[in-house]
Structure 1
Amino acid sequence: MGEYASGAVLPWPAYVPPGCDEPTMSESDGVRYLHFGTEWIQGAMRVARPSELVLAYTQQMMAWLLFLEPPRDSFIGILGLGAGSLLRYTLKHMPGSVVVAEWNPRVTHICRAYFRLPESARLHIDHDDAAVWVKRREHLGRYLCLMVDLYDAQAQGPVRESLGFYRDCYRALDEVGILAVNLFGNHESFPRNLANISKAFKGRVLELPEIDEGNRVVLAFKGPGLNVTVQQFLDRAQAVESGYGLPARRWAKSLLAQGMPAL
């Protein structure tokens, strides 16, 4: 059972696909965390500021803003709802529509009950396997960005990682689009995922620096090559930092220090 802040009791979904993990919660110092019956954190929300991106890797998932400014008619796709952090942030800061693929209806349920899942005409949630969802005809060529954060209860390796899956992500992006994927740098799946993303996106891949928790965010690009000067890139980072409240200048300097390849 779940309970809204108003006290209304919310029953569990009538049908849950086999193999879905049971979501659980914890709370400390004003931050509410989502788990799947383990100590591993699957998402977080600062109760006083629910649209804030608490975890560093969720901030890095927005690093695609260094390269694209979302227009009013854009579609952003999120694969894996978690605690709804990326969803809440995107709806607050961007004008377009957000479509979420979430396999486990219980995750959506607990987000509605405890993680301030927004009610918005710009939001649609599909309860579907991300690997099936991304193949569907209605998603082909639709998304400015896909943010992929698909982990099981152990939270150490993506549950969808095949070359076919990443090629389907490529096809779901608009003519110009970016894939952002949360990987785990210290997990044996990292090189395999990186190789498959690189093949699917013709080598147009950037790796952001690994953060303390071990997460490693990878960006992959579709569309015309990027043709900007270093100063233009730094100016864009300043605009993202000012407009979105993200540490974009740090990301930009890190990418430049790595010798950012031609994209």
Structure 2
Amino acid sequence: MIYRRETGRHPIEVIDHDGFRSLHFDRHSVQSRMALDDPLALVLPYTRFLMASLLFLPSPTRALMIGLGGGSVAKYLLHHLPALGLDVVEPDPQVIWTSHEFFYLPRTERLSIHKDDGCHFIRAAQKRPAWPYDLVLIDAFDEAGMVAPVYGRSMISGCHALLETGGVIGINLGKSNKALRSQVLTSLDAVFPRSWLRLPVPHTRNEIALAFGRRTGWRDLESCRRRAVSLGERMSLEWDQFVDTLIQANKPPFWRRLWSWEGA
């Protein structure tokens, strides 16, 4: 252990082991992980699968993240998308400090970190005029799992209201809280009817939900195949696997959606 700090919410621990640096809020779960010899790499599988959002929107310019952790996803996006402006909402100042000091999250004018509760930030953002986001990522976990208010219906509706017409929302879901996960899926059906997809993360207890500001269809899936090739030239991730998993996880309803969307 190289760092430990007690906060009012939970302890923060940073541990180096076998070439990796990990952020913990308890000893039973990992909040973030970084390879010491490749700090930019996305080590945890769910963080890589969250990047499947880029199959539908390869060059976002304004993004919002709810939840920071060690900053792996924020760091990756800022490095690989030089035109991106990124807002991150994180309520814990010690988590923010730790992400900079131990996980090398850069301090740059392209990154704005808001020390705020995610639900409060979304409510306030809807009341002020602002450019919409074309990418929204929700990844708010604590030592108990998904932070329930952040995954509530009003939060998902609020993110939809802040989303550009052609934008994408990526949501990291855990499978340990089945009731909350079921509520999220029901909310997605209500807020994004016929316009969201499931992306299980193999060999983990995570699943990514991808929701779209507009209906997508067969032509978009074909474009995903092409984008997988071009994205692979810039970012070494499992792009083909993302596409294959999307198809497998969402059929037969997936194919019915595709054909119905084509005619919509």
TM-score (norm 2): 0.86
8 Å contact kept, 1:140–1:173: no
1:134 corresponds to 2:122: yes
What are the residue-to-residue correspondences of 1:40-119 with 2, within 5 Å?
Answer: 40-71=29-60, 74-94=61-81, 95-119=83-107
Amino acid at match of 1:26: I
Residues 158 and 251 (structure 1 numbering): CA distance in 2 closer, same or farther, change over 3 Å? farther
Residues 218 and 140 (structure 1 numbering): CA distance in 2 closer, same or farther, change over 3 Å? farther
Deviation sequence 1:7-42 (CA, Å, 0-9, x none):
xxxxx8xxx7xx532311112121111111332100
Q: Find the residue that maps to 1:170 and give its secondary structure.
A: helix
Deviation sequence 1:227-253 (CA, Å, 0-9, x none):
516543322222222222111111111
Amino acid at match of 1:69: P
Aligned residues: 248
Instruction: Measure how far apart 1:197 and its partner are.
Output: 2.0
The match for 1:192 is 183
**Mean CA deviation greater in 189-198 or 117-126:** 189-198
Amino acid at match of 1:85: S
The match for 1:7 is none
The match for 1:256 is 247
Q: Find the residue that maps to 1:48 and give its secondary structure.
A: coil
1:24 corresponds to 2:13: yes
Instruction: Measure how far apart 1:209 and its partner are.
Output: 2.0
The match for 1:218 is 209
Which of the two has greater helix per residue? Answer: 2
Q: Find the residue that maps to 1:228 and give its secondary structure.
A: helix
1:121 corresponds to 2:121: no
What RMSD, in angstroms, separates the aligned Cα atoms of the two structures?
A: 2.3
**Mean CA deviation greater in 155-164 or 128-137:** 155-164
The match for 1:9 is none
TM-score (norm 1): 0.86
CA distance in 1, matches of 2:36, 2:149: 29
8 Å contact kept, 1:35–1:43: yes
Amino acid at match of 2:195: R
CA distance in 2, matches of 1:40, 1:139: 39
Instruction: Measure how far apart 1:140 and its partner are.
Output: 5.4
Amino acid at match of 2:37: A
CA distance in 1, matches of 2:194, 2:152: 16
The match for 1:179 is 169
8 Å contact kept, 1:166–1:196: yes
CA distance in 2, matches of 1:21, 1:162: 22
8 Å contact kept, 1:42–1:155: no
Instruction: Measure how far apart 1:167 and its partner are.
Output: 0.1
Q: Taking every aligned residue pair, what percent have the same amino acid on both sides? A: 26
8 Å contact kept, 1:151–1:159: no
Among residues 157, 165, 169, which one is paired with 2:155 in the alignment? 165
Instruction: Measure how far apart 1:202 and its partner are.
Output: 2.2
Q: Find the residue that maps to 2:165 and give its secondary structure.
A: strand
CA distance in 2, matches of 1:140, 1:163: 22
Among residues 135, 141, 146, which one is paired with 1:145 in the alignment? 135
Amino acid at match of 1:39: H
**Mean CA deviation greater in 195-204 or 114-123:** 195-204
8 Å contact kept, 1:149–1:158: no
Among residues 137, 145, 149, which one is paired with 1:155 in the alignment? 145
CA distance in 2, matches of 1:100, 1:217: 19
Instruction: Measure how far apart 1:82 and its partner are.
Output: 0.4
